[in-house]
Structure 1
Amino acid sequence: MKIKEMETEKLISLLCGDQFMNTKALPEYDIPSLEMSDGPMGLRYQKKDKDSLGINRSEPATCLPAGVAVAASWNPDVAEQVGTIIGSEAAAYGVDLVLGPAVNLERNPLCGRNVEYLSEDPLLAGRLGGAYIRGVQSQQVGACIKHFAANNQETEREYLNVICEEDVLRDLYLKAFEIAIREGKPAAVMTSLSKINGTYCAENRWLFDILRKEWGFDGLVMTDWFGLDDRVKSAEAGLDLEMPGTDGKSTAYMVEQWKQGRLDEHVIRERAECIIRNARKWKIPKTKKTEEERELLLKENHEKVCAAAEEAIVLLKNKEDILPQQQGRKLAVIGEYAREPLFQAEGSGKVEGAGKEDAWECAEKWNGADNTPFAMGYRRNNAGSEAEQQKLRDEAVKTAADADAVLFFLAMDFGFEGEGNDRVQYELPEYQVALLKEIAAVNSNVIAVVMNGGAVAMPWADEVKAILECFYGGQGIGRAIVKVISGEVNPSGHMPVSVPAFREQIISDENFAEQTEQVTYREGMFMGYRGYETKKIPVQFPFGFGLSYTTFEITECSVEQEKITDCEKTVLRGKIKNTGSRKGAQVVQLYVKNPRAWKARPARELRDFQKIILEAGEEKEFVFSISRELFELYDERVDERTVPQGMYGLELGFSVQDIRAAQKIEVTPVFPVPRQIQGWDKTERLLETKAGEQIFEELYRKITEKAGGIFAQRLKEEKNVREMLLSQPIRIVHLMIWNEMTDSELIAILEKVNQELYHDYREKMRSLEKK
């Protein structure tokens, strides 16, 4: 039976999920059910007692590096590999749709869900999010990108109203989604629980129009779990699917609304057709694997996830080249997190890990048991009595004093961050930091290993020789850490977020996670490094920063054309050389330094990047494409992306603060955005539009017929009245006939003329796009 012949009640029944993790099936119409499972840090597949918060047990799965750790690799291949891992395990259980990735920006380091998110920058988040999606979907499993949009805090998330200007939304918070959706083409999009500018995301027509009409998305749009306020408004706005199922209550309500004429049948059919189309597309026949086959798959994926973790580690400090460590030296390993690494979060990020690499055991295998003593030092979350805690501290200090170097593990304690709650502190737990200082007092060769979701303050950095930032590195992080400290792996991670020195430096902190139902993004475009660079705030570790065991130089940098229009393209060419003695990888980051424009812009913004592997002494060429996308911004005057004219800087560096080479390029728009016509403009500007021409002719007629007072005398003396009027400000011309036209009428005229002015501009731009 064709969809158009289906009963309306049947179509309505499809608009709500069936049970907790499925869409509704109608076998008699050949409409299958899609089975879903949580991600993105690993498959959280539950055979029974399904939930969305990680409360009940799930089946064993590979625990992946968290989103922020994947982003620290600055490598789309790593993101795609991670997506492939979760996609393969989803397919093994017959899962059709994985709920991930999450590409919301890390607006504030204290957001509890930063562990799942990728970066504070939309390009890095979007590009790696797109790669993750491609990896998942290469396994014939759909990916559901989330949370659309501006889900940047957990506090009051169900009621929160995010107040944010449209240009900031489009150029930052939506941009990450746009890039990931265009590059990854996900099966589905999940909406955020909150409101944006007063309207719930699940019933926000403006958001859905951008998603479908501007970006061309034709997949499924669904709610977050229980993330619906008004089902009718949501359907009318463009939402397809409510999740989870409601035991028929939502369907009954929708049927009633339809029968009473409050819900148009066209809307019902449009939403249902989208669900049917995508259910059939993504219900790809899969052969569920046996338990033995799944165990073999988990072993294969474990090796892959260990390799991914290696690229995610960021070397933040390496004083006196203490790393890599020499084999055979006495290396004390201290901290419970060396044995129980922090590699997963709460809520949808919680995974029943299928394996775990113990950092101490891995260190023992490499360095020998006699050379690698271990001391607990502390219990997670500072568990135990004061006497027990003191005993552990004393043992750790004694172990450290007898060693050549110390590998000390610190972490943001389990439960401090994750879905449902934001962090209350920027610093690591005090009991861990206090022990670190005690150990540094008896051993000057301390290597700090840090595990966390969002960025953390490191005021103790001067007391240690080296710092490894590991984030939530997945189940293979223990092995990866030892490979890095031994020198088997040369660290190549770079920071996907900024690390302010202390909480007071965090630009967004004054309007974040307050116990209120509204938050205003007052920092606008100046979030993260965009703000720190523009306002010259000295952070502890800048965006894009990461050290290596070797050194690199950019030896050449040139741009083919120094002047282009916004419709032309050129290329930036350069060469990078490994000037050290080890093989290594470096991320070449392209930043655009913005000229002054009609509105304030960040000093510089990331616009492209490449991760390049080089043997010792090797030199390679790299090329960046230069086009309008690098310079454009959303211009609310014309509701289009435009390019301000000016001299731009093309800056190549190894972090936002470490610029190694630069070129300038002058960009001129083919059609500059016309300046808004205002009352003090010369009247001749009315002739820029047809409506303005007609208005001027009417003004001319009225003035020549009815002008009085001093204006009447002047008109008699003027030989060319028309030219005289055109040279006068619009307001002066208006005064000549003030009794014939009110101020409100003048304002309405200017609004009409400006609407046509910008409509004409948009038509010109669209004609260029077609060419």
Structure 2
Amino acid sequence: MTAQATPRTGAGDAEVGTPEREPAAAVARLDPRRRARLTAGESGWSTLAAPEVGLSSMLMGDGPLGLVSPTFDERETALLLPCATALGATWDTGVVRSVGLALGSEAARRGYAAVYAPNLNLVRTGLSGRTFEMFSEDPLLTGRLGAAFVAGLQSQGVASCPKHLVCNDTETERQRMSATVDEATLREVYLRPFEMALRDAGAWMVMTAYNRLNGVACNAHAGLISIVKDEWAWDGLVISDYFAVKETLAPALAGLDLEMPGPAIYLGERLAEEVAAGRLPQERVDDAVIRLLRLARRVGALAGSGREVSAPGEHVPAEAAPAVLTAAAAASFTLVRNEGRVLPLRPERLRRLAVIGPNATRPCYQGATFGRVRPAGHAATPWEAVRDRFGSTCEVVYEPGVPRTRPEPLGAFPVTTPDGEPGVLLEHFRGASAAPVLGEVRADSAFIWFGEVPGAGPTTEPGSLRLTAVFTPETDGRHVFAAGGSGETVLYIDGTEIARRPAPAVDDVMGQVARAEMTPGEAELTAGVPVTVVVEMTSPGARVQALTVGCLPPEPPGALRRAVEAAAGADAVVLVVGDVLETSRESRDMASSALPAEQAELIREVAAVNPRTVVVVNAGRPVHAPWADDVAGLLFAWLPGQGFGTALAAVLDGELEPAGRMPVSVPCRDEDRSTWGERLDADLALDYTATEPIGYRHLRRSGLRPRFAFGEGLGYTRWEHRDARAERTADGRVEVTVSVANVGERRGREVVQVYVRGPGERDVRLAGFAGVRLDPGESADVAILLDERAFARWDTAGGGWSVAPGRHEILAGRSSVELPHSLTVEL
């Protein structure tokens, strides 16, 4: 694909009508310089207003995991959603739409115009730091679920902004790397989810990616943006990822409409200068503003307009939202091993239940992006929820099994201010002032400020911070404290410096904030004897500032031994392992898909003494599981959001079914992935074409049996797929019908999956899927309609989609490796 910088004038210029309501007419009332200013944000999270045409500022928020506070203040809470990989595991557009509805309802209540979600990039490697933000490894599944999320969110009059267009599937050198992709692979695989969300579902915005595509920055790639705006006839707003724009003319000519965050660096008023110099058509600026005003009209930010709410009767009240998220979490839980039908647990048969593992009391609810979501109220941990549900009928005991290995936020420990108030004292200084301009008590110790410190002024001015906390140790011994931030940080214990970290060199602003890197120091402390922790940070000023302070206290030895003893004395074990917040982190990829070695050892040791061990994997990625055959039960719980504990307890005792199916393949070895070992070349390019196909398509082509297959999942009942047929419909589509029977003892949900392979093709690809819920002994015919696009491939020479004439194979079944029905259709 080429990136010709042909000036774009865009669609919709002919709109006419009331000036306050119709974008084109409103633009005509703005002078050229004013129009240009509207092509950049006002602040980190808002657009500029233009009162002369009735345009209000629009508040936008990050949202794949829930609404991130625009001030990143832990006192501002929001719904914490299951991660995208968890939603991918539902294989259920209804569930995903309901989560989008809950998010849209909350966003509308809080006055948001748009939410940056969903992420439509693909799980290429399973090692990306943001795998948890991606639905799956398959473009059709990602696109179907992404479109459902868009529909739910926008039904409440809040814009969905899918991201990151396109091929932002790795975090390594994300600001500079280039994805080298041939036209067919780009169209068929990586653009397909965006096409479904933008063209089919009608998302009102899209965010371009940090990376380059075939050597050209995505926000300045005229060929890419032309596909979206012209070929798909899409009338929405194209915005940049934060701080991704590095020049003025090329992005504007290519079709970028809005630079974020504000205030302007490269777009904005500079575009008026480019127009005056004859390098940029005025029509290109007008098109960008028309699209901004069109968005404003849709979200009720243009005078005389109201939010375009398509489903007012489906608004999710605040008090009802947690139940929606808990149900979605349970629907995502994917049971891949259930030997001896160990699940569901039967409380009446248990005298003692052992809950073991670090994630049972310190679960990972979400992945690490630059901003965390703080759920309202208390999110029950797996240990708390299981204890409460099973504790009335049997003894429930807990052992962590492994010690903590990373500093946790200081605010997670019982700390106070010097005055004895719970929390930490945070003081802000400006310039060389000896007196703070703001002092506040905070419950957290991981802070981000974007453009402004509320009450203290802009972050771009030189200044300093001081955090003070009184820490009372619970144990004797060596305590590790750590601190880091956007400026130089110095850490003191009772006035003695124990760590110093220089100001980081910032290439990736958002990534540096997300990584929250710290420098540790040690102090020997005595239980019950308080010490004063002080961290000072100085900064010359920057658009984004951050400070993180953590602590790792000593723990008594013998954690593994105590866990094994607890397991040996129990009738069943629920072993919860997985990620910590730092495992999956924006701007940093992982080296391996394995669990930490100490967790793998814990699983093996516990399983050796208790044959009724159920492992719950709390991770937003495909986890390497060489120990799977050692355990009776294995449940992928992903990063399930605030409903984790409640949903898990309900699934363990059988109230809810773990209805998920794998959205990703788990190979037997990392080396079995087509992307294993790929590296950026000297030009920071990554060859996507060389590693195509990916995921299950590669495993099938290579004859490699995965440990857990794409689409696999057991649930709590048993299914038979008895027969299948394929017929042409009157409108030219193909209807695939599969007869399904529930031959188990419980009501459950089955997912019928249909894959296709064209004449002479080696690979199968997912073409459709549908879920069905049946009672025991009940059967049903599940029909899946395949349109022409399901069989089409991109014809690079012809510049369009085409269906190869001849016999196309259709395979139907329960997963990418269990496809008992093979049909053919002549096209």
The TM-score normalised by the length of structure 1 is 0.80
1:314 aligns with 2:338: no
Give the paired residue count: 645
1:437 aligns with 2:599: no
Which of 347, 353, 363 does residue 341 from structure 1 map onto? 363
Query: By how many angstroms is 1:122 displaced?
Result: 0.6
What's 1:546 paired with? 713
1:441-460 alignment, distance < 5 Å: 441-460=608-627
Give per-residue Cα distances to partners, 1:67-126, cap 9 Å, x unaligned: 000010000011101101111111121011011000111111001111011011011000
Structure richer in helix, relative to its length: 1
1:630 alignment partner, SS class: helix
Whether contact under 8 Å (2:332, 2:637) holds in the other structure is yes
Give per-residue Cα distances to partners, 1:122-170, cap 9 Å, x unaligned: 1100010000011111111111010010100011000111111110000
Query: By how many angstroms is 1:387 displaced?
Result: 7.5
Whether contact under 8 Å (1:44, 1:348) holds in the other structure is no
Give per-residue Cα distances to partners, 1:514-569, cap 9 Å, x unaligned: 897221114454111111111111211111000122111122312235xx99x833
2:278 alignment partner, SS class: coil
Q: CA, structure 1 residues 249+104, in 2 after alignment: closer, same or farther (shift >3 Å)?
A: closer
What's 1:79 paired with? 96
Query: By how many angstroms is 1:57 displaced?
Result: 3.7
Whether contact under 8 Å (1:526, 1:602) holds in the other structure is no
Query: By how many angstroms is 1:251 displaced?
Result: 2.9
Which of 390, 404, 408 does residue 367 from structure 1 map onto? 390
d(CA) in 2 for partners of 1:286, 1:391: 62
Query: By how many angstroms is 1:65 displaced?
Result: 0.5
**Larger RCO, structures 1/2 (Cα 8 Å, 6+ apart):** 2
Q: CA, structure 1 residues 617+359, in 2 after alignment: closer, same or farther (shift >3 Å)?
A: same
Q: CA, structure 1 residues 647+69, in 2 after alignment: closer, same or farther (shift >3 Å)?
A: same
Whether contact under 8 Å (1:83, 1:136) holds in the other structure is yes
Query: By how many angstroms is 1:510 displaced?
Result: 2.3
What's 2:400 paired with? 376
What's 1:581 paired with? 745
d(CA) in 2 for partners of 1:268, 1:374: 62
d(CA) in 2 for partners of 1:248, 1:153: 26
Structure 1 gap ranges (5+): 51-55, 288-295, 668-771
Whether contact under 8 Å (1:310, 1:491) holds in the other structure is yes
1:281 aligns with 2:334: no
Give per-residue Cα distances to partners, 1:447-497, cap 9 Å, x unaligned: 100011221100111211110001111111112112222122222210001
Whether contact under 8 Å (1:494, 1:544) holds in the other structure is yes
What's 1:358 paired with? 381
1:635 aligns with 2:795: yes
Whether contact under 8 Å (1:41, 1:349) holds in the other structure is no
Query: By how many angstroms is 1:252 displaced?
Result: 3.9
d(CA) in 1 for partners of 2:595, 2:574: 17
1:651 aligns with 2:673: no
1:436-585 alignment, distance < 5 Å: 436-512=603-679, 517-561=684-728, 568-585=732-749
The aligned amino acid for 1:395 is R
The aligned amino acid for 2:743 is T
The aligned amino acid for 1:283 is G
1:155 aligns with 2:177: no
Whether contact under 8 Å (1:378, 1:389) holds in the other structure is no
Q: CA, structure 1 residues 248+496, in 2 after alignment: closer, same or farther (shift >3 Å)?
A: closer
Give per-residue Cα distances to partners, 1:666-695, cap 9 Å, x unaligned: 22xxxxxxxxxxxxxxxxxxxxxxxxxxxx
d(CA) in 1 for partners of 2:202, 2:745: 42
d(CA) in 1 for partners of 2:747, 2:265: 61
Whether contact under 8 Å (2:67, 2:78) holds in the other structure is yes
Query: By how many angstroms is 1:650 displaced?
Result: 1.4
What's 1:423 paired with? 590
d(CA) in 2 for partners of 1:249, 1:526: 38
Q: CA, structure 1 residues 366+516, in 2 after alignment: closer, same or farther (shift >3 Å)?
A: farther
Q: CA, structure 1 residues 391+570, in 2 after alignment: closer, same or farther (shift >3 Å)?
A: closer
Give per-residue Cα distances to partners, 1:425-449, cap 9 Å, x unaligned: 2111111111222212222221100
The aligned amino acid for 1:586 is E
Give per-residue Cα distances to partners, 1:704-746, cap 9 Å, x unaligned: xxxxxxxxxxxxxxxxxxxxxxxxxxxxxxxxxxxxxxxxxxx
CA RMSD of aligned residues (A): 2.2
Which of 14, 39, 49 does residue 38 from structure 2 map onto? 14
Structure richer in strand, relative to its length: 2
2:617 alignment partner, SS class: strand
1:190-339 alignment, distance < 5 Å: 190-246=207-263, 250-283=267-300, 297-328=317-348, 329=350, 330-339=352-361
Of 352-361 and 225-234, deviating more is 352-361
1:560 alignment partner, SS class: strand
What's 2:149 paired with? 132
Larger radius of gyration: 1
d(CA) in 1 for partners of 2:555, 2:265: 55
2:373 alignment partner, SS class: coil
Query: By how many angstroms is 1:331 displaced?
Result: 1.4
Which of 57, 73, 80 does residue 63 from structure 1 map onto? 80
Whether contact under 8 Å (2:576, 2:615) holds in the other structure is yes
Whether contact under 8 Å (2:157, 2:298) holds in the other structure is no
Of 570-579 and 82-91, deviating more is 570-579
Query: By how many angstroms is 1:280 displaced?
Result: 2.4
d(CA) in 2 for partners of 1:275, 1:531: 42
1:25 alignment partner, SS class: coil
1:476 alignment partner, SS class: helix
Q: CA, structure 1 residues 349+19, in 2 after alignment: closer, same or farther (shift >3 Å)?
A: closer
What's 1:114 paired with? 131
d(CA) in 1 for partners of 2:367, 2:735: 42
Which of 607, 623, 634 does residue 767 from structure 2 map onto? 607
d(CA) in 1 for partners of 2:48, 2:387: 52
Q: CA, structure 1 residues 58+606, in 2 after alignment: closer, same or farther (shift >3 Å)?
A: farther
d(CA) in 2 for partners of 1:569, 1:459: 43
d(CA) in 1 for partners of 2:338, 2:122: 29
Q: CA, structure 1 residues 515+392, in 2 after alignment: closer, same or farther (shift >3 Å)?
A: farther
1:655-734 alignment, distance < 5 Å: 655-667=815-827
The TM-score normalised by the length of structure 2 is 0.75
The aligned amino acid for 2:373 is V
The aligned amino acid for 2:819 is I
d(CA) in 1 for partners of 2:786, 2:114: 36
d(CA) in 2 for partners of 1:249, 1:111: 30
1:406 alignment partner, SS class: strand
d(CA) in 1 for partners of 2:639, 2:788: 36
d(CA) in 2 for partners of 1:346, 1:85: 22
The aligned amino acid for 1:36 is M
2:566 alignment partner, SS class: helix
d(CA) in 1 for partners of 2:386, 2:680: 40
